A and B are shown apart, each in its own frame.
Chain A
Amino acid sequence: MKLEVAGLNSFYGRAHILFDVALEVGKGEVVALLGRNGAGKSTTFRSVVGLVSGRSGQVKFEGEDISRLPSYEIVRRGLGYVPEDRRIFTDLTVEENFEVGRQKPREGVAAWSQDRIYTLFPNLGEMRKRLGGEMSGGEQQMLSIGRTLMGNPSLVLLDEPSEGLAPKIVEQMADAILAMKREGLSIVISEQNLHFAKLICDRAYIIEKGRMRFSGTIAELEAHPEVRDAYLAV
C-alpha cells in the first residue's frame, strides 16, 4: 500500500469534522474521494499532509507512520499535495513557482523537470515569465499541479482539480492526470460529482459529514445510482 489512513479524527478547534475516516491507495492507483460541499474531502487531505493540528489516528505512507511529521517532512517523503484553492504564488513567475516546488530526485520515481511539465501542460510553456497572478483559473490549476510535480512525488493528492474549469480544459486536465498515472504515480482526486472522476479513476470513496459512506470501484458506484443520489452533487 502506498497510503493507508485509518481511524482518522480531525477537529477545527472544538468542531469535530472527521470521524474515523479510513482510506487506502495502492501503488499506481487513481482513487477518487467524492463528497458534497463541506463533506470533509479537503479536511481529509489537509489532515494527511499535517495541516490540521487537531487530529488523531493513523496515517501511513509507504508503510511508515507520518502522522506526527511536519508538513514539509511529509512532502519530502514524496507525498505531494495540490490544495483546492490552488494557492499559486501570484507575485512569482511561472518558472519561479516551479522553482519553489523543486526537490531532489527521488529513487524509484520519475524525476520531473520544467521541460517535462511543459510537455504535460503545453499552455504553460508559452508563458514561462508570466506572473502567477496574471493567469486564468485553468492555467493556475495546471501551474499548481506542475509545481507539486516538481517535488517528484510518488503520490499526489489533488483537491478538486476540475473545479470551475471550462469543459475543454477539464478534458485537458483528465489527459494530463492519465499521463501522470502512466508515469507510475499514485493519485487521489477529490471531486463533488462523478463526471470527472469516472474519466480517470479506478476506485472511489464517498465521504459525507465526515464519515466514509462508500468504498468500491467506479463500476460498482455506477451500478448503484441511489448511493450516488444520496451523497453526491449532480
Chain B
Amino acid sequence: MIVATQTATKGANVELLLVQALSGLASAASLFLVASGLSIIFGVTRIVNFAHGAFYMLGAYMAYTLTSRFAGPLGFWGGLVVASLIVAALGALMEMVLLRRIYQAPELFQLLATFGVTLMVQDLVVLIWGPDDLMGPRAPGFTGAFELFGRRIPSYDALLIVLGPLVLGLLWLLFHRTRWGVLVRAATQDRDMVACLGVNQKWLFTSVFALGVFLAALGGALQIPRTTVTHAMDLSIIVEVFVVVVIGGLGSVTGAFFAAVLVSELNALGILVLPKISLIAVFLVMAVVLVVRPFGLLGKPERAPRAAAGLSFRPWKPMTQIERIGVALIVAMAALLPLFAGDYTLSVGSEILVFVLFASSLHFMMTVGGLASFGHAAYFGLGAYGAAFAVKFLGAPMGVALLIGPLFGMLGAIVSGWFCVRLTGVYFAMLTLAFAQIIWSVTFQWVEVTGGDNGLLGIWPARWASSPQGFFWLTLGIAVVGVALLRMLVFSPFGFGLRAARDSTLRADAIGINRKSVQWAAFVVSGTFAGLAGALFAFLKGSVFPDSLAIPISVDGLVMVLLGGIETVSGAVVGAIVYKALAIWLMSQTDLSKLILGAIIVLLVVASPKGIVGFIEHIRHRRPRTPTGADVPDSLGINMKAAE
C-alpha cells in the first residue's frame, strides 16, 4: 500500500527502497549464519547457547588478526576460514569441558552457564586485543562498488547476498546427503533413540556444537570488511539472533534463513519509515508471529516441555515463630547500622538492599511462577526512568516518584508479559531478553526524552532521606516491606494457583486455573516490585542511564537468585547480599571483574545448582532415606487372589 502510493508520487523512493533492501539482504547473511548455528546446536543438544554472540565476536577478532598478518586473497579468505576453524575448536572445547556436565540441567542453568562464558570472553577479548575498535582489511577483489539506479552498492554486499543462500544450500546438502547429517537430523528428533542404535551421542553433540560455532565465527569474520570490530558486538548480535530464531523457529535452519532476511529487511526499510525506532517494526512482526505461531514460522513444539527451573521442590512452609523472631532481629541489626557505619558502607548497603528487592521480585516469578526471565532489568530500568520522569517533567516529590516508578514497571510488564506468557522455557527466556533489549534501545535512541547515553541527572531524594543514613533507612524499610509482601503472596491462594500452574498445566486446568492469566499476573507483580527497586536506585544514584535496563542487570538478578537457591522462598535475599557485596568488592579490586564473575557463574552452575540457601536447607532437612520397596514378596497363591 505504502509502496504503491509512493510510486505514484515519487519514483526515486522506490529506488531508495530497492537499494536499502539489497543492503538488508547483505546484512541478513551474517545474521543467518549465526542464527542457523544457534538453531542447529539447539536442535540436537537442546541448549540455547548464549555464548554464540561471543563466538561471533571471537571470529571477527581472530579474522582481524589473521587477515592483517597474511596479505593477499589467500591470506584474506584463508584467514577468515582458519579463524572460524580456530573458534570452532574453542567451541568444541567448551562443549566437552562445560556443556557435557549440564546437559541434564534445567535450561535456565544452561543459559546462565553460557552467559558466564560470554562475560569471560568480553574481558579476555579486551585483554588480548585491547579496548579500541579495530578496522580490518577490505576483501581483496571486493573493494569496489557498482552502480544501481545511480546509487553505489558495495560489491562485498553483493557477495554476501549470494553467500546466504549458498550456505543454506550447503547446509541442506550436509544434512540430507551425508551420514553425519542424517544422524544429526535423527538426533534432533529423538536423541535417545539414536543412542539406542549404537551412535555415540557425545561426539555427535561435540561435532554439532563445533559446526554451530563455526557458522557463528564465520558470520563474525565476514563482517570485518563491513564494520569495525568491537568488544560490544557479542551482545548486539545475540539479541538479533534470538529474535531471528524466535521468529524462524528454533531448530529450523530454513526458518533461520527466512527470519534473518525478514529481520534484516525490517531493519533496513524500517529506518526509512521510522528512523528513530526502527526496532519497533521488528518487534511488532515478532509479536504477530508469536501470537499466530508460538514456535516460530518453521519451528516445532517441544516434544516434552521441561521443568522451567527447579529440580525438586521441597514443600514450602511459612516461617515459624522462632524464624520470624530471627528475621526481626536481623532487620533490627541492619536498622542500627547507620549509627556506626560510614557513608560509603551505607551507600553500598543501600545499593545491596535495592538489589535484594530486585532479586526477590525476579525470584517470585521464577520459583512460584516457573518463569525464568532473562530481561528483568527492563522493569527495573522502567522504574528508574519512571521515577526520573516524574521528577524531571512533573517536578514530583520523591514520594510520588517512588509510586510512579513501579507504575512504569507494571505497565511495561503488562505489555510484554502478555506476549511472554504465551511461551514457555527457552522461548520465554529469549523473548523476555528481546523485550528488555528493545526497551533498552528505545531509551538509548530517544535522546529528547531520555537523554540517551547521557542519562537523566539530578534525581535527588527528599531532604529527610538525602543523608546516607536517611536513605539507608528508607531503602531498608521499602525492601523489608517489599520482600515480606512477596512472601505473603507466595503463601496466598494466588501463590498456590501459580505453583499449580507451574507444576502442571493440565492439573491447573483441572482445578480451574488459567495458566496464562495467572502467570501474567505474576509477571506483572514481579515487574512492579522490580520497578520499585529501580525507582529507589534512581534516587540512590541521583541519575538514570540506559545501563539500568541492560542485560548485565538482568543477569545479575538471575545469578543472585541462583546463588541464593532457586528452590527456596527467600533465598534471593541472601543471594543478592552475597553477590552484590562480592561484585562491588571485585570492581574495586580488579579490572577483570567480568572474567571473575563469569567464572563464578560457570562454577556455580556446575558445582552447586541448589545455591547457598538451598544447600543449608538441604543439610537441615536431611533425613535418613526410607527403605524402598516395602512390598513383601508374595507367593503365587496370595497373588492369584489379589489378581482376581
* Interface: B236 (CB within 8 A): no
Asked if residues A100 and B196 are in contact (CB atoms below 8 Å), the reply is no
Task: Give the contacting residue for A89; candidates B185, B199, B629, B636; CB below 8 A.
Answer: B185
* Interface: B186 (CB within 8 A): yes
What chain A residues lie within 8 Å of B190 (beta carbons)?
A: 87, 89
* Interface: B639 (CB within 8 A): yes
Asked if residues B197 and A148 are in contact (CB atoms below 8 Å), the reply is yes
What chain A residues lie within 8 Å of B192 (beta carbons)?
A: 51, 71
What chain A residues lie within 8 Å of B639 (beta carbons)?
A: 208-209, 213, 230
Task: Give the contacting residue for A51; candidates B183, B196, B633; CB below 8 A.
Answer: B196
Asked if residues B185 and A11 are in contact (CB atoms below 8 Å), the reply is no
Interface size (A, Cβ < 8 Å)?
37
* Interface: A62 (CB within 8 A): no
- A83–B321 alpha-carbon span in the complex (Å): 54
* Interface: B200 (CB within 8 A): yes
Segment at the interface with B among A91-99, A108-116, A120-128? A91-99
Given known A-B contacts A14-B628, A87-B190, A100-B186, A213 and B636 have beta carbons under 8 A apart: yes
* Interface: A75 (CB within 8 A): yes
CB distance from B310 to the nearest CB of A (A): 15
Asked if residues A230 and B643 are in contact (CB atoms below 8 Å), the reply is yes
* Interface: B463 (CB within 8 A): no
Asked if residues B195 and A89 are in contact (CB atoms below 8 Å), the reply is no
Interface extent on B, as a size class? 20 to 34
CB distance from A51 to the nearest CB of B (A): 7
Asked if residues A92 and B182 are in contact (CB atoms below 8 Å), the reply is yes
Asked if residues A151 and B198 are in contact (CB atoms below 8 Å), the reply is yes
* Interface: B620 (CB within 8 A): no
Asked if residues B195 and A99 are in contact (CB atoms below 8 Å), the reply is no
Asked if residues B179 and A230 are in contact (CB atoms below 8 Å), the reply is no
Asked if residues B189 and A71 are in contact (CB atoms below 8 Å), the reply is no
* Interface: B8 (CB within 8 A): no
What chain A residues lie within 8 Å of B640 (beta carbons)?
A: 226, 230
- A148–B198 alpha-carbon span in the complex (Å): 9
Total CB contacts across the A-B interface at under 8 A: 81
Asked if residues A81 and B629 are in contact (CB atoms below 8 Å), the reply is no
In chain A, residues 76-110, which have Cβ atoms closer than 8 Å to a Cβ of chain B? 76, 81, 83, 87, 89-92, 96-97, 99-103
Task: Give the contacting residue for B196; candidates A81, A92, A208; CB below 8 A.
Answer: A81
* Interface: A118 (CB within 8 A): no
Tell which of A51, A96, A211 has the most Cβ of chain B within 10 Å: A96
Asked if residues A72 and B185 are in contact (CB atoms below 8 Å), the reply is no
Asked if residues A72 and B629 are in contact (CB atoms below 8 Å), the reply is no
Asked if residues B182 and A96 are in contact (CB atoms below 8 Å), the reply is yes
Asked if residues A87 and B193 are in contact (CB atoms below 8 Å), the reply is yes
What chain A residues lie within 8 Å of B643 (beta carbons)?
A: 230-231
Tell which of B193, B200, B639 has the most Cβ of chain A within 10 Å: B193
CB distance from A26 to the nearest CB of B (A): 23
1/0 contact string of B610-644 vs chain A (CB within 8 Å): 00000000000000000011010100100110010
22 A-B contacts (beta carbon < 8 Å): A16-B628, A16-B629, A19-B633, A49-B196, A71-B195, A72-B195, A72-B200, A72-B201, A75-B197, A83-B196, A89-B186, A89-B193, A91-B185, A91-B189, A92-B189, A96-B182, A99-B179, A150-B197, A208-B639, A213-B636, A213-B639, A230-B636
Q: Which residues of A contact B (CB under 8 A)?
A: 11, 14-16, 19, 49, 51, 70-72, 75-76, 81, 83, 87, 89-92, 96-97, 99-103, 147-148, 150-151, 208-209, 211, 213, 226, 230-231
Q: A72-B195, A72-B200, A72-B201 are in contact. List 20 more A-B contacts (CB 8 A).
A: A15-B628, A16-B631, A19-B629, A49-B196, A71-B192, A71-B195, A75-B195, A75-B196, A83-B196, A89-B185, A89-B186, A89-B193, A91-B188, A92-B189, A96-B182, A97-B186, A99-B182, A102-B179, A147-B197, A230-B643
Q: Which residues of B contact A (CB under 8 A)?
A: 179, 182-183, 185-186, 188-190, 192-201, 628-629, 631, 633, 636, 639-640, 643
